[in-house]
Chain A
Amino acid sequence: MTSVPTPLREIAKVVRSKNAGPFEITLDIIFKSREDFDAVKKSGVITKELISELYNVPTQAIITFGFFDLVNAVKITLPRPRAQGAIGETDMHAAQQHVPLQEICVPWPAQ
């Protein structure tokens, strides 16, 4: 079967971002099935290094990063760029910081 690079927005059930308290932002990628979750995990595309690059955060500052099979999800928690609601805030709830994750491409069977 041929595979083509496919963005996560076409594969995942949920790709979202939100505050986890006023000083952290948490990102969830939830898959439709264990098969999809396993395939993305096996692709090796989603790594701490990639997250570090996309969110301009040193790998050692990443608070949580992992594939969690109990919920078929990748969870990533990062320090917030500023305390929630501080001067210069652009996203009070951190609800629109997920887009770089949506665009991550993994090799996927051609439709």
Chain B
Amino acid sequence: MAVANNDEIRILTPSGMLGYGFPIEHVKLGLTLKPHAITIDSGSTDSGPQKLGLGEMTCSHANYVKDMEVLLEAQQEAKIPLLISSAGGDGSNLHVDVFRDIMVEIAQRRGWRFKLAKIYSDVDKALIKKELKAGRIEPLGPVPQLDPREVDAATVVVAQIGAEPFNKALDEGPSAIGGVDVIVSGRAYDPSPTAAMAIRAGFDPALAWHMGKIMECGALCAEPVGRSVMGWLRRDHFEIEPLNPAERCTTASVAAHTLYEKTHPFLLAGPGGTLDLSQCKYEQVSDRRVRVSGSKFIPANPYTVKLEGAKTAGYRAIFIAGARDPIFIRQIDEILARVIDVTRDYYKEIPPETYRIIPHLYGKNGVMGELEPVKTPAHELCIIVEVAAATQAIATAICGKIRTSLMHAPYPGRIATAGNLASPFTPLEIPLGQACEFNVYHLMQVDSPTALFPVQYEEIA
């Protein structure tokens, strides 16, 4: 096993997202560079609240098996730690256990043995409400103050794991089984696994977090954008290079990467502090490799972690239809408004505040809504009407009523009297199931960076 010496620690990240796949030959190439650890994230809030709200995962079970099998094989061959964060996308306890089960299945089939640590990140709702009362929870960005009723409504609330719980798992593995080979964690700040390895080896936390921040997206920092990336962290700088020989890191591509999906271009807040990249220096050390120095880390006092939670919010149904008649398209807003009025009147017995009707008019303003600068609609429209209600039956019924009314609605100048809509699919009304909404996105003060995150160890064979 390669041990980080005093001068350098090397990290291999195969991809920005476990489950999206990556070229195996580039990971093999990375292994010849003798990394001290493999880190890979599988989390994101980016595809929506339904993961936290309904316990769904970002990728399919089959994709996770495929990616994990390649990485476990690398771990077995190279005898280096494999750190996987934010299991399943949301990092709930449920998905940490799903990942653990996938590993057991692979290990049994391949005859592999390894020591596993699981770090859990679901937060007890009673604790959140207690801390809320104590004034230790604040909104993160343009979010309302947390209401204890929203805590109760959330399906699950997770907290983002910093570097410390990973190091605890690596250092405190029960002596009976020796060191830990593989970590699967709940919701983690994406750079945490890489930063943890480097901080544990005694390197500058600012450089460790910055390298982690770049590597958590795989080779997104390269030109063209790629998958697998390798980082070399030394005493006063780090270097970054994509593993695909057809890609290169440039000073511009690495510097600009920190803009991506971030609120601020050089202040990046995370568990326990903020990374300040305003004084960074980027140097091209080879055609494909960039050296970074000058990162700063400003520790937060008190230490805070981000809470994430989502709730279910009723059921939805939609219909999808085309419109091509220019006389109809010219009047679409007025026609739809009349149809919605008729529908609300028809369903007088359903309290109006318990359901919502939202038209999406593609070809007019479907993508940007009121912000759409182009006011002239296209020659054809795709009309999607979204109905949200308390039950699937009500949502689908209202949706059907709107569709049939719109199909046959009279309007001034109408000469196409047989029907107004071109419907491509059955079912004509499509039930979408439960809707979800993010309802917890707050910072909570903690007394210890590890207290919220229990670690469990087991030997997989």
- Given contacts A83-B438, A86-B437, A87-B358, is CB(A19)–CB(B46) below 8 Å? yes
Contact indicator B49/A22 (Cβ below 8 Å): yes
Cα–Cα, bound, A70→B277 (Å): 9
| Chain A: minimal CB distance from B155 (Å) | 14
Q: Does B158 contact A (CB under 8 A)?
A: no
Contact indicator B368/A21 (Cβ below 8 Å): no
Contact indicator B313/A86 (Cβ below 8 Å): yes
Q: Does A36 contact B (CB under 8 A)?
A: no
Cα–Cα, bound, A61→B141 (Å): 11
| Chain B: minimal CB distance from A89 (Å) | 8
Q: Does B266 contact A (CB under 8 A)?
A: yes
Contact indicator A73/B142 (Cβ below 8 Å): no
- Given contacts A18-B260, A83-B437, is CB(A61)–CB(B142) below 8 Å? yes
Q: Does A99 contact B (CB under 8 A)?
A: yes
Find chain B residues with CB under 8 A from A99 CB: 368, 373
Q: Is the interface of B mostly helix, strand, loop or mixed?
A: loop
Find chain B residues with CB under 8 A from A90 CB: 360, 366-369
Cα–Cα, bound, A75→B265 (Å): 7
Q: Does B47 contact A (CB under 8 A)?
A: yes
- Chain A residue with Cβ nearest B51: A85
* A residues 20-66 in Cβ contact with B at 8 Å: 20-24, 26, 28, 30, 54-56, 61, 63-64, 66
Contact indicator B437/A92 (Cβ below 8 Å): no
| Chain A: minimal CB distance from B202 (Å) | 28
Contact of B261 among A26, A63, A71, A100 (CB under 8 A): A26
- Given contacts A55-B371, A70-B280, is CB(A28)–CB(B259) below 8 Å? yes
Cα–Cα, bound, A80→B280 (Å): 30
| Chain B: minimal CB distance from A27 (Å) | 10
Contact indicator B142/A24 (Cβ below 8 Å): yes
Instruction: Give the size of the chain A interface in residues (CB under 8 angstroms).
Output: 43
Q: Does B110 contact A (CB under 8 A)?
A: no
Contact indicator B142/A87 (Cβ below 8 Å): no
Q: Does A97 contact B (CB under 8 A)?
A: yes
Contact indicator B441/A23 (Cβ below 8 Å): yes
Cα–Cα, bound, A37→B280 (Å): 19
Contact indicator A97/B46 (Cβ below 8 Å): no
Contact indicator B259/A75 (Cβ below 8 Å): yes
Contact indicator B265/A73 (Cβ below 8 Å): yes
| Chain B: minimal CB distance from A60 (Å) | 12
Q: Does B348 contact A (CB under 8 A)?
A: no
Cα–Cα, bound, A75→B278 (Å): 14
Find chain B residues with CB under 8 A from A14 CB: 256
| Chain A: minimal CB distance from B52 (Å) | 10
Cα–Cα, bound, A22→B263 (Å): 11
- Given contacts A70-B266, A75-B264, is CB(A85)–CB(B436) below 8 Å? yes
Q: Can you pick out 14 interface pairs between chain A and chain B where the beta carbons lie within 8 Å of each other? A: A23-B441, A24-B141, A24-B142, A26-B261, A54-B373, A63-B263, A64-B263, A71-B258, A83-B49, A83-B437, A83-B438, A86-B49, A88-B358, A90-B369
Given contacts A21-B140, A86-B435, A88-B358, 20 further A-B contacts (CB under 8 A): A19-B46, A21-B45, A23-B441, A24-B141, A28-B260, A56-B371, A71-B256, A73-B265, A83-B438, A84-B49, A84-B438, A85-B436, A86-B437, A88-B386, A90-B366, A92-B47, A92-B48, A93-B46, A96-B367, A97-B367
